[in-house]
Amino acid sequence: MFYFDISNPLTLLLMLLATILLIFLAQEVKKSMIGAVVLFVYLILLIVHVAQVATLPEEYRYLLSTLTRCVVIDFVFVFISFFAYLWIDDIETRKNGKKSIDNSLDWFWRKV
């Protein structure tokens, strides 16, 4: 059974580095689509890991702890990339002069 083990420290470090670089790139070019792509990739990865846990055959039960760690790490990366996307989207709307319909997160961005 193939699984993408993101609980490996080297893989985790590389994914974190790639995420930070892509978020920084999106912030510099002021394009929230880059942040949306990062979020979409982590959501797909989360769905794949959850599906693997749900359909894990009996002979691969030794992978259950690794896959559950991967699911937890996926949730953390989804959380990070979601707030990064919201932040970059706010930067992009201010740059383009677009007014958001709902500014309910303004209190959050003022404190960041």
**Model confidence at 111: pLDDT above 80:** no
Q: What is the pLDDT of residue 112?
A: 65
Q: What is the pLDDT of residue 69?
A: 93
67 φ, ψ to 5°? -70, -35
**Model confidence at 60: pLDDT above 90:** no
Query: 95 falls in which pLDDT band (50, 70, 90)?
Result: confident
Q: Give the start-to-end residue ranges of the domains of the chain.
A: 9-111
Read off the tokens for 90.
Answer: 């706010």
Q: What is the mean pLDDT of residues 49-68?
A: 90
Mind listing the pLDDT tens digit for each residue in 70-91? 999 999 999 999 999 988 988 8
